[in-house]
Structure 1
């Protein structure tokens, strides 16, 4: 397939490398205007990819969007007029709400949503490390996307395991719950995920998960508090040495994904008239840290 990866950060570079290694024709669309971009995955040989190639974009069968959630609209919109209406668009990012902002523009295309638990870290501009093997779920955003289940096999052949999930909304909410629990706390405390297993964090985690459960159930999605609490505990243990993306963003004074993680939860809670004091407290704490850089600058 002709594949373009929009946003070759850690996860984008990981997928680009695996897709190219399995025989696909892969191009990148990154911020750099250089014609070629080099990626070296772990100890594998370097791979060279065309970058910002208009012809490759026009001929793309698949556009994999892996930019940060808050960059989705600004990165994707300028490319709209260059993409074939047959091109399958896959959005793979943390957080929720960004794709909904583009619903009208996306209506002609087959659109899929994906969530992955693979871990990746960019250690330099060209080097990426696969820090944790995981699984990817993918499912339809619209009716055209529902006809594209075959893409699961394409992706699974490149970076397993990939599963089709016709109820992708449930999987995305589950991922949002994990992110609401882990990301803001690790960013505020500047700790790795494993430290959240300490007793001093349990009351906050329980409150966050309870509030998220109330919102999820108001959205008529069947996930219980016990399920989510157990899942969060499993993720904390499985990723105990990892730093969350939000912790990294706050550490390096970069804009975080808080508006599309906890912020999305708060908006949805408000719609259902549900109080979420613990999530609200964490949201305000992250926003305060971010605004302190702006004020300091």
Structure 2
């Protein structure tokens, strides 16, 4: 396939290298002014990818959009005039709500949403490390997207394991719940994920999860409170030495994805008239840290 990766950060670079190794024609689209871009994964030699080439957009069978949630609209909108209406749009990012913002713009395109638990780390502009093996789930965003189940084979051949989830919203909500629990707290306290296993965080985590469960049930997402607490605790243990993306964004004075994680939860809670004071407080604290451009322990 002719594949354009829009936003070759850590996850985008990981998939660019893996899809290239699997024999696809992969090019990159990003914010640099280059016409080509070198990328190496792990200990393998560098590959040279075409970069920001209009002809690659015109020829694309698939756009894999891996920018951060708050960048989706600005990154994709200018590209649409060059993309064939048969090209598939596949979005892979943390949080929810970003694709909803452009739903009308992309209604003509087959659109798929993905969530992945693979770990990737950009050690420099031209090198990515595959830091953790995970699973990827794909699911249709619109009716045309339902015709794209073959993408499971394409992606599974490049980086297993990949599955098609007809209830992708369930998977996205479960990922959102984990992010709501872990990301803001680790960003505010500038701590590793594993620190959240300490007893002092338990009341806050339980409050976050209680509010999540109320909203998820109103959104018709099957969820059970004790099970979600267990899931969050398992992720905290499994990723105990990791720094969350929001931790890193606050540390480096970058914009976070809070509006598409906790912010999305808060907006949904308001629609259902559900009170979520713990999550609102965390949201406000992150927005304050973003504005101040500084972090405190």
Fold agreement, TM-score > 0.5: yes
Q: Deviations over 1:223-276 (max 9, x none)?
A: 111221111111111111111000000000000000110000000000000000
1:159 is matched with which residue?
159
2:251 is matched with which residue?
251
| TM, length-normalised to structure 2 | 0.98
For 2:234 and 2:136, the matched residues in 1 are separated by 17
Query: For structure 1, which segment, 226-235 or 204-213, has the greater mean C-alpha deviation from structure 2 after superposition?
Result: 226-235
Offset at residue 126 of structure 1 (A)? 0.5
For 1:224 and 1:61, the matched residues in 2 are separated by 40
For 2:28 and 2:208, the matched residues in 1 are separated by 37
For 1:253 and 1:75, the matched residues in 2 are separated by 21
- SS in structure 1 of the partner of residue 104 of structure 2: helix
For 1:91 and 1:227, the matched residues in 2 are separated by 28
Aligned ranges for residues 232-247 of structure 1 at < 5 Å?
A: 232-247=232-247
2:105 is matched with which residue?
105
1:204 is matched with which residue?
204
Structure 1 gap ranges (5+) = none
Offset at residue 293 of structure 1 (A)? 2.5
2:37 is matched with which residue?
37
2:288 is matched with which residue?
288
For 1:293 and 1:41, the matched residues in 2 are separated by 32
| TM, length-normalised to structure 1 | 0.98
The answer to whether residue 89 in structure 2 is matched with residue 89 in structure 1 is yes
Aligned ranges for residues 184-223 of structure 1 at < 5 Å?
A: 184-223=184-223
- SS in structure 1 of the partner of residue 96 of structure 2: coil
1:66 is matched with which residue?
66
- SS in structure 1 of the partner of residue 45 of structure 2: coil
For 2:227 and 2:84, the matched residues in 1 are separated by 41
- SS in structure 1 of the partner of residue 39 of structure 2: strand
Offset at residue 290 of structure 1 (A)? 0.8
For 1:157 and 1:231, the matched residues in 2 are separated by 28
1:269 is matched with which residue?
269
8 Å CA contact 2:250, 2:293 repeated in 1: no
For 1:86 and 1:253, the matched residues in 2 are separated by 39
For 1:85 and 1:131, the matched residues in 2 are separated by 35
Query: For structure 1, which segment, 228-237 or 2-11, has the greater mean C-alpha deviation from structure 2 after superposition?
Result: 228-237
- SS in structure 1 of the partner of residue 103 of structure 2: helix
For 1:30 and 1:103, the matched residues in 2 are separated by 22
For 1:137 and 1:103, the matched residues in 2 are separated by 21
For 1:133 and 1:243, the matched residues in 2 are separated by 17
For 1:223 and 1:59, the matched residues in 2 are separated by 42
Aligned residues between the structures: 294
Structure 2 gap ranges (5+) = none
Aligned ranges for residues 166-185 of structure 1 at < 5 Å?
A: 166-185=166-185
Q: Deviations over 1:26-61 (max 9, x none)?
A: 000011020110111111111110000111111111
The answer to whether residue 149 in structure 2 is matched with residue 149 in structure 1 is yes
Instruction: Give 4+ residue runs of structure 1 displaced > 4 Å after superposition.
Output: none
Offset at residue 291 of structure 1 (A)? 1.1
C-alpha RMSD of the superposition: 0.8
